[in-house]
Structure 1
C-alpha cells in the first residue's frame, strides 16, 4: 500500500453503488404476482419457480457465439423454471415473466442521493471509472437506468471485452483509459473473487471490500486491504492513503 497520492478510483457497480440484489428481489415478487394471476398458483409453487430462476441466473453462461440473445436466454430460464415446477409452460407466459422481472428490476435500481453526492465530491479530486462485469446489454441497461455515466471519466463493461474481472487485462485497459499507473488506483467492490482479487492481480495501490456482514474475518485466500459496510465510508479510507 506504499506509494504516492491516489489519482483514480475504480468502482464496481452491482451491490457496490446500486443495490442490485434488493432490486432483484422486488422484481421477483412482481413476476410472482403475475404467475399467481395467470395460473392461480399457491405461494409455495411461486417461490419454487422464482428460486429456480435465481439459481439459473447465478450459473448462466451466456456465449456471444451461441446466437441467442440475453433476453431469449433469460426468458428460457423462466420457461424451464416453470416446467420444472409445474410440468408445462407456454413460451408466451415465460416471456411475460421475463419482461415483468427485467422492467421491474430496472425501475427499482437507482443511485441514492447519498451515493450521487459521494461521486460528485470524489470526482473533484480523483479520476473515477466504473468497471462492471456482466453481459454487455444487461449492464448497459443498468447504467442507463440509474443515470450514472456522467459521474465517471469512463465506463468499462466486462462483457464487451475478451476478459472480465479478475483478469489483469481489463484492469490494464482501465489504467490506459485514465492515463494512470496501477499504484495510482484504488479498487472498490463487493466481490472478493472478482473485484478484490482483480485489483490484487493488477497491482493497485489498495483494495476496498464492501461488505455488510457483521463478521470481518475472511476464511479464503483473498484479503482486501480495507473492509467497509457501505461505499459511503470510502472517503475515510482514501484519507488514509494520502
Structure 2
C-alpha cells in the first residue's frame, strides 16, 4: 500500500559536487578576525591610540573591504586598493598624523596574518580525499582573482579538485547562471548531476537553485544567517563535515 508520507527522491545519481571556499571549506571569518587583531596591535603600538579609536579604524577598513569595487582593468592592483583602504581608514579617524608607510605595513600584516591562519582542517582534508574518490569535485569561489588564488594556494587544496573556478576571472560570478553553466561544461555533466554546497544563501544556494542542480546544501554555522523565505536550500547542515549524510540520502 502506498504511504503518502514517503518522500519520493530523484533516483538520478549524484556525479559531482560544487564547493564554495570561504566559510565552507575554510574558516575565512575567523582568519580575518585574527588578522584584524594583529593589525590592531601594530596600530596601537605605532600610534599610541586608545582601544576605541583603534576599533574605529579597523571597523572602517572592514566596511571598505565589504563594499569594495575593484576593476582589474584600472591598472591598479588589489594590493594597492587595500593599502588605500587602510590609509583612508586611519586618515578619517585620526587625520594625517601618521607615517606614509603605516598603511602599507597594516595591509601586508593583515594579509599575511590572514593567509597564515587559513587552512584545511584535517577533518575537511580527509572529507575531500574521500569524496574525490567517488565524485568529481569543483571549487567555485567568488571574489577578486588574485585574492582567491592566494587563498587556494595557502590552503593547498588544488589536489582535491577536478577544476577550480574563480569568479573574479569571469564576466559574471555566483549566483549568475553563466558561471554555473561554465562549471557544468568543465565537468562534462548536466546540472542535475551536481550538488552545490556553500554558506551563502544569496550566491551559493540561490545560484545553485537557479541553475537547476540536483540539490543545494547550505552550511549554516551557529552564528549563520536565518532563512527569510526568499531562498530555500534543499538541505541545511552546521558543518561541511555532515555532507556525507546528505549524499547518502541522494543516492
Q: Work out whether residues 3 and 205 of structure 1, in 8 Å CA contact, stay in contact via their aligned partners in 2.
A: no
CA RMSD of aligned residues (A): 1.4
The answer on 1:149 being equivalent to 2:169 is: no
Specify whether residues 70 and 149 from structure 1 end up closer, same or farther in structure 2 by C-alpha distance, changes over 3 A only.
same
Indicate the residue corresponding to 2:78 in structure 1.
70
Residue 84 of structure 1 deviates from its aligned partner by 1.0
Q: Cα deviations across residues 10-60 of structure 1 (Å, max 9, x unaligned)?
A: 000000000000000000011111111111111111111111111111100
Indicate the residue corresponding to 1:164 in structure 2.
173
Q: Secondary structure at the match of 2:227?
A: coil
Task: Please report the TM-score for the alignment, with normalisation by the length of structure 1.
Answer: 0.97
How do 1:37-116 residues align onto structure 2 when only pairs under 5 Å count? 37-88=45-96, 89-116=98-125
Unaligned runs of 5+ residues in structure 1 are none
Q: Cα deviations across residues 193-231 of structure 1 (Å, max 9, x unaligned)?
A: 000011011110000000013798621400000000000
Indicate the residue corresponding to 1:131 in structure 2.
140
Indicate the residue corresponding to 1:204 in structure 2.
213
Q: Secondary structure at the match of 1:91?
A: coil
Unaligned runs of 5+ residues in structure 2 are 1-8
Q: Cα deviations across residues 134-180 of structure 1 (Å, max 9, x unaligned)?
A: 00000000000000011111111000111100011111111111111
The answer on 1:12 being equivalent to 2:3 is: no
Deviating above 4 A after TM superposition, structure 1's stretches of 4 or more consecutive aligned residues are 214-217
Specify whether residues 217 and 27 from structure 1 end up closer, same or farther in structure 2 by C-alpha distance, changes over 3 A only.
closer
Indicate the residue corresponding to 1:22 in structure 2.
30
Greater C-alpha radius of gyration: 2
Q: Cα deviations across residues 39-82 of structure 1 (Å, max 9, x unaligned)?
A: 11111111111111111111001112222110000000001110
Aligned pair count reads: 242
Task: Please report the TM-score for the alignment, with normalisation by the length of structure 2.
Answer: 0.93
